[in-house]
């Protein structure tokens, strides 16, 4: 409460400058980016408070002139439908003067199953003495960037958690600065074509197969939570195509429908003028700060609510890692609690929950006269605009990494200042009703997102009223040829994979519709068991045996949410079965578009249907980053394993 709110204008990330063009196999010239990760300081807190040292993405060329374009979150990559984009991702976490590596900004738990580059402590050091006084890792930082939601991306360009690499810094053996070394070492893809790499970088190609808002973020094994928390995230827009804005019709005239004006016309390094832009991405994150402005992230279990710290050496619980983290300040596009001046008109917000653990329930309902329509989800448009005022009391629920494309109509909102609130929980989410089934976010801090300064419209709003928008048709996926039954489990065990894991994924043996079916946990290093063939369509069923909701994400595909159904979990026997007499429940109206992340509620099975397009090694996981970092992630392979 020391930090004053709504003082900083909302930052709208400009387009990421491209480095040039590259010619690809079929002769096309496509956009080529060189993007480095750097450490720098940024005024995240309001002016007058100390700046914060963060990591962020930015253009790497020419290194000196444009270094101001590094920001956390990074600038927006603007891509066009079916025009590939090539990005050279550079690990620039080195000291500008000594050329040596920079150590982590935030505590790394070396007892997890993690990237564990040289210079660290072996992650299997489970000796009581080490665990009683764990030393956080101080070596060079592994990174690898993943484009979240990229469909049909090749395995080598997906940002596999084990394909991390170190900076090309003084004293680092070149094999560790080489992309893919550990990927191949773990024999996940022995003949992996790692494409073009130079020490300290990896070059990835994105095919841009759907029209939607994606985001790029770090995915290094066992330290995604701290790398993303430190700032390694940014927005990636794919525009155009038969399912893009241009395919929208106005039901009244049959002519092209008009959405609030987009940022896409802004070329490299052109900072958008706030007044004329009415399509605004909002990356919402929770962060905590120390008194000196530095980022706070817990460095021991003592900070986890409900688990008495400090770490107790005889248990299997990792000493530094926490099962979740809920920070106390809300950051939107890189500033705490910003404000935005808007006119009495329609705006299009591209919302992203980029929090580590926090589920958000954005409550537009406390703003008088407002109307909210959702037109798209994670991976494309909905079949029809969903009137959120009617279907969900103007509330937008977003699990970590879920996106919402919404039209917010301020036309009848009184001129003045209005606050957007968050009535999601300050704790793990289990579903349910704000204020009754869970403790809502603190109304003085985490319960506040940003403020709108509503002003008189300066020009006529030419956008189509949302009720008249005819959204482009997304063809349904083919019928599935296989159903995979998967389990979400939580365990604490050191016997598993020799690391003190706390969250697992597993498989269900048998048919929970026919009676109790046993579930077994699978670990990161187990042989791949989810192995769909190229071109096939499957239903994956997530049987959630835990007490919390998990945002489940599958790489390289987009899926249809089929339905959810009540299950009975028997913890003692480790079995699961469909609840007698239960019937499948249809998705919510706002979940009907293609998605890549879905909320799997406790005591339910959540079913998604997807087609596997391209051969390669990928992962599926819970997008609570603390879970993902501790075994709630499994590799999966599309197509035959290579020898």
For ligand C2O, give the closer residue by CB, 36 or 401.
Answer: 401
Angle at 117 between CA 116 and CA 120, to 5 degrees: 75
**Token pair of 324 as six digits:** 């979740």
For ligand C2O, give the closer residue by CB, 222 or 512.
Answer: 222
| Per-position x/- string for 595-624, each x denoting binding to ligand C2O as judged by CB under 6 A, each - no binding | ------------------------x-x-x-
The size of the interface with ligand C2O (CB under 6 A), counted in residues, is 10
For ligand C2O, give the closer residue by CB, 80 or 219.
Answer: 219
For ligand C2O, give the closer residue by CB, 438 or 524.
Answer: 524
For ligand C2O, give the closer residue by CB, 233 or 375.
Answer: 233
For ligand C2O, give the closer residue by CB, 94 or 217.
Answer: 217
For 8, phi then psi, to 5°, come to -100, 130
Identify residues 549-578 at the interface with ligand C2O (CB under 6 A): 553, 555
Q: Are strands 201-206 and 633-638 parallel, antiparallel or unpaired?
A: unpaired
**Minimum CB–partner distance for residue 6 and ligand C2O (Å):** 29
Say if residues 546 and 135 touch (Cβ distance below 8 Å): no
For ligand C2O, give the closer residue by CB, 607 or 623.
Answer: 623
CB atoms within 10 A of CB 201: 23
**Distance between CA atoms of residues 13 and 473, nearest Å:** 30
Say if residues 38 and 141 touch (Cβ distance below 8 Å): no
For residue 510, how far is the Cα from the chain centroid? 32
For ligand C2O, give the closer residue by CB, 554 or 561.
Answer: 554
**Minimum CB–partner distance for residue 505 and ligand C2O (Å):** 13
**Minimum CB–partner distance for residue 217 and ligand C2O (Å):** 6
412-421 CB burial, b ≥16 within 10 A, e <16: ebeeeebbbb
For ligand C2O, give the closer residue by CB, 590 or 620.
Answer: 620
Which residue minimizes CB distance to ligand C2O? Answer: 148
| Per-position x/- string for 384-413, each x denoting binding to ligand C2O as judged by CB under 6 A, each - no binding | -----------------x------------
Say if residues 351 and 212 touch (Cβ distance below 8 Å): no
| Per-position x/- string for 162-201, each x denoting binding to ligand C2O as judged by CB under 6 A, each - no binding | ----------------------------------------
To the nearest 10°, report the CA torsion of 237, 240, 245, 248.
-150
| Per-position x/- string for 445-484, each x denoting binding to ligand C2O as judged by CB under 6 A, each - no binding | ----------------------------------------
Closest by Cα among 159, 135, 133, 164 to 148: 159
**Distance between CA atoms of residues 352 and 234, nearest Å:** 10
For ligand C2O, give the closer residue by CB, 594 or 623.
Answer: 623
**Minimum CB–partner distance for residue 244 and ligand C2O (Å):** 23
For ligand C2O, give the closer residue by CB, 319 or 377.
Answer: 377
For ligand C2O, give the closer residue by CB, 454 or 634.
Answer: 634
**Minimum CB–partner distance for residue 224 and ligand C2O (Å):** 8
Angle at 401 between CA 295 and CA 615, to 5 degrees: 120
Please, how many CA atoms are within 13 Å of residue 503, restricted to the half-sphere of its CB?
A: 25
| Per-position x/- string for 14-53, each x denoting binding to ligand C2O as judged by CB under 6 A, each - no binding | ----------------------------------------
For 306, phi then psi, to 5°, come to 90, -20
Using the Cα atoms of residue 105, residue 106, residue 107 and residue 113 in order, give the sign of their dihedral. Answer: negative
**Token pair of 153 as six digits:** 């991306």
To the nearest 10°, report the CA torsion of 206, 641, 166, 202.
-30
**Token pair of 498 as six digits:** 């020799």
Say if residues 299 and 369 touch (Cβ distance below 8 Å): no
Kindly state whether residue 421 participates in binding ligand C2O, applying the rule CB under 6 A: no
Strand order in the sheet with 339-343: 339-343, 448-455, 416-422, 360-363, 395-398
**Token pair of 337 as six digits:** 């609690």
For ligand C2O, give the closer residue by CB, 282 or 367.
Answer: 282
**Minimum CB–partner distance for residue 595 and ligand C2O (Å):** 13
The one among 5, 22, 123, 219 contacting ligand C2O by CB under 6 A: 219
**Minimum CB–partner distance for residue 286 and ligand C2O (Å):** 17
**Distance between CA atoms of residues 572 and 608, nearest Å:** 28
For ligand C2O, give the closer residue by CB, 104 or 551.
Answer: 551
The one among 148, 188, 225, 485 contacting ligand C2O by CB under 6 A: 148
The one among 38, 94, 123, 146 contacting ligand C2O by CB under 6 A: 146
Omega within 30 of 0 (cis) for the link into 73: yes
Say if residues 422 and 363 touch (Cβ distance below 8 Å): yes
**Token pair of 290 as six digits:** 């120390």
Return the bridge partners of 568, or none: 577
Say if residues 337 and 448 touch (Cβ distance below 8 Å): yes
The binding site for ligand C2O (CB under 6 A) comprises: 146, 148, 217, 219, 401, 553, 555, 619, 621, 623
């Amino acid at each position: 409460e020391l930090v004053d709110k709504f003082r900083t204008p909302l930052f709208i990330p400009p387009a990421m400058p491209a480095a040039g063009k590259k010619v690809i196999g079929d002769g096309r010239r496509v956009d080529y980016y060189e993007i480095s990760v750097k450490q720098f300081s940024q005024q995240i807190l309001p002016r007058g408070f100390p700046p914060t040292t963060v990591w962020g993405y930015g253009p790497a060329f020419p290194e000196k002139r444009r270094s101001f374009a590094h920001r956390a979150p990074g600038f927006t990559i603007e891509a066009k439908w079916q025009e590939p984009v090539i990005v050279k991702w550079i690990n620039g976490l080195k000291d500008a003067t000594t050329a040596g590596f920079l150590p982590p900004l935030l505590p790394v738990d070396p007892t997890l199953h993690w990237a564990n580059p040289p210079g660290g402590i072996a992650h299997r050091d489970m000796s009581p003495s080490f665990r009683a006084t764990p030393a956080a890792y101080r070596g060079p930082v592994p990174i690898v960037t993943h484009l979240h939601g990229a469909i049909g991306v090749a395995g080598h360009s997906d940002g596999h958690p084990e394909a991390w690499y170190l900076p090309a810094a003084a004293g680092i053996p070149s094999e560790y600065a080489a992309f893919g070394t550990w990927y191949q070492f773990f024999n996940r893809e022995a003949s992996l074509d790692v494409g073009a790499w130079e020490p300290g970088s990896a070059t990835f190609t994105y095919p841009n197969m759907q029209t939607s808002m994606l985001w790029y973020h770090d995915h290094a094994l066992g330290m995604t939570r701290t790398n993303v928390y430190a700032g390694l995230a940014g927005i990636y827009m794919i525009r155009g195509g038969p399912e893009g804005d241009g395919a929208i019709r106005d039901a009244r005239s049959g002519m092209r429908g008009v959405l609030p004006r987009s940022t896409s016309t802004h070329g490299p390094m052109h900072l958008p003028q706030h007044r004329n832009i009415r399509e605004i991405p909002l990356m919402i994150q929770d962060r905590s700060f120390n008194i000196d402005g530095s980022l706070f992230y817990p460095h021991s279990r003592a900070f986890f609510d409900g688990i008495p710290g400090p770490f107790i050496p005889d248990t299997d619980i990792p000493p530094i890692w926490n099962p979740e983290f809920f920070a106390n300040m809300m950051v939107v596009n890189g500033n705490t609690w910003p404000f935005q001046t808007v006119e009495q008109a329609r705006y299009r917000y591209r919302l992203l929950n980029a929090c580590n653990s926090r589920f958000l329930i954005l409550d537009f309902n406390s703003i008088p006269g407002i109307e909210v329509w959702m037109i798209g989800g994670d991976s494309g448009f909905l079949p029809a605009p969903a009137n959120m005022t009617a279907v969900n009391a103007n509330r937008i629920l977003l699990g970590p990494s879920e996106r919402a494309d919404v039209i917010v109509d301020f036309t009848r909102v009184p001129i003045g200042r209005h606050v957007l609130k968050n009535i999601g929980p300050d704790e793990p989410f289990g579903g349910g009703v704000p204020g009754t089934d869970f403790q809502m976010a603190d109304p003085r801090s985490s319960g506040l997102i940003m403020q709108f300064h509503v002003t008189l419209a300066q020009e006529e709003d030419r956008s189509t009223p949302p009720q008249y928008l005819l959204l482009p048709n997304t063809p349904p996926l083919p019928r599935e040829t296989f159903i995979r039954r998967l389990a979400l489990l939580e365990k604490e065990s050191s016997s598993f994979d020799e690391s003190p894991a706390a969250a697992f994924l597993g498989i269900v043996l048998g048919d929970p519709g026919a009676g109790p079916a046993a579930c077994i946990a699978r670990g990161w290093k187990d042989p791949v068991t989810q192995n769909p063939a190229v071109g096939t369509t499957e239903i994956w069923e997530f049987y959630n045996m835990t007490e919390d909701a998990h945002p489940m994400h599958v790489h390289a595909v987009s899926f249809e949410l089929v339905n959810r159904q009540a299950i009975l979990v028997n913890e003692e026997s480790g079995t699961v079965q469909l609840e007698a007499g239960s019937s499948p429940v249809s998705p919510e109206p706002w979940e009907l578009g293609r998605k890549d992340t879905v909320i799997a509620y406790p005591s339910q099975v959540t079913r998604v249907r997807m087609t596997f397009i391209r051969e390669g090694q990928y992962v599926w996981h819970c997008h609570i980053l603390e879970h993902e970092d501790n075994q709630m992630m499994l590799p999966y392979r599309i197509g035959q394993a290579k020898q």
